[in-house]
């Protein structure tokens, strides 16, 4: 009897060791994750170790997380500062043949084209220090899931407004672009159903409230991951657009 119990406990111990190794392999090999990915791994492990889920639930969560990451081609690579616990985008662009004044003016022009009235979005500018601070917003779309009356799930593409503070620092032949205070505004309601009107409601969330993605119901994971991916893509596109506009300063007047 004692030998059987000893053998049983050995099997259990071996199972948990194997499961732990499997979890680490899944979370680390699915994609090349940064500090933000490490947060997700730690969060899942914390839930298991604290007893929030049993082994079966743990395995199901790991499988769902792995499948979701695969559908997004990996964890979104956002510049997460492990010290400040903030997402901080920072880019430095160099233009050896373009002077400070031209770079500065092109940023102002580009801002007017992309964000509308400068009176609304321009919050500070000082040519001597090379500083320009904008507070703008743009529309992005994200994916979510919904179930109909019959319980059949379908994927939806929803719009929301993403706001950010952009700080430009122009120095000689280069510019540093920092994107801070990212937040989202979600609009719901504004329609009639079953003879009653559902009023419009606006909800605001900081990008930092999306972390860890694995916190909260797993039904919210796709929304949060989608928002992070779309935000990163949108910012990279914005920077590429600015870069092109500055580089085209001669072509603009070549007519």
| C-alpha torsion 10→15→21→22, nearest 10 | 170
**181 backbone φψ class: left, alpha, beta (φ>0; ψ -120 to 50):** left
Q: Are 108 and 101 in contact (CB under 8 A)?
A: no
| Mean per-residue pLDDT of the chain | 81
Report pLDDT for 8.
38
For residue 178, list its beta bridge partners: 90, 167
Is a pLDDT exceeding 80 seen at residue 16? no
Is a pLDDT exceeding 90 seen at residue 17? no
Is a pLDDT exceeding 50 seen at residue 39? yes
Better pLDDT: 156 or 111: 111
Q: Which tens digit of pLDDT belongs to each residue from 202-225?
A: 889 999 888 888 988 888 898 899
Instruction: Give the SS3 label for residue 161.
Output: strand
Most trustworthy range by pLDDT among 58-72, 74-88, 241-255? 241-255
High-pLDDT (> 70) share of the chain, %: 80
Q: How far apart (Å, rounded) are the C-alpha atoms in residues 101 and 188?
A: 44
Banded model confidence at residue 48, pLDDT cuts 50, 70, 90: confident
Which of the residue ranges 23-37, 55-69, 102-116, 130-144 would you say has the lowest mean pLDDT?
A: 23-37
Q: Which tens digit of pLDDT belongs to each residue from 175-194?
A: 999 999 999 998 877 778 77
Is a pLDDT exceeding 90 seen at residue 243? yes
Helix (H) or strand (E) holding 204: strand 201-206
């Amino acid at each position: 009897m004692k030998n059987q119990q000893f053998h049983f406990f050995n099997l259990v111990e071996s199972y948990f060791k194997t499961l732990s190794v499997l979890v680490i392999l899944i979370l680390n090999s699915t994609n090349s994750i940064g500090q933000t990915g490490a947060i997700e791994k730690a969060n899942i492990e914390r839930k298991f170790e604290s007893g929030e889920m049993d082994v079966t639930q743990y395995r199901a969560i790991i499988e769902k997380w792995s499948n979701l990451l695969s559908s997004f081609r990996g964890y979104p690579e956002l510049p997460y500062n492990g010290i400040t616990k903030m997402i901080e985008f920072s880019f430095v662009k160099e233009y050896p043949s373009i002077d400070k004044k031209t770079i500065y003016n092109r940023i102002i022009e580009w801002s007017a084209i992309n964000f509308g009235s400068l009176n609304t979005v321009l919050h500070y500018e000082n040519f001597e220090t090379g500083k320009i601070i904008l507070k703008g917003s743009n529309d992005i779309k994200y994916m979510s899931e919904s179930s109909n009356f019959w319980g059949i799930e379908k994927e939806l593409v929803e719009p929301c407004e993403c706001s950010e503070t952009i700080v430009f620092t122009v120095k000689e032949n280069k510019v540093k672009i920092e994107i801070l205070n990212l937040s989202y505004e979600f609009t719901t309601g504004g329609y009639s159903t079953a003879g009653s009107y559902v009023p419009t409601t606006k909800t605001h969330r900081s990008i930092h409230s999306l972390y860890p993605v694995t916190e909260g119901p797993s039904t919210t994971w796709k929304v949060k991951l989608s928002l992070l991916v779309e935000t990163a893509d949108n910012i990279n596109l914005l920077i590429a657009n600015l870069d092109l506009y500055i580089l085209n300063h001669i072509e603009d007047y070549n007519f």
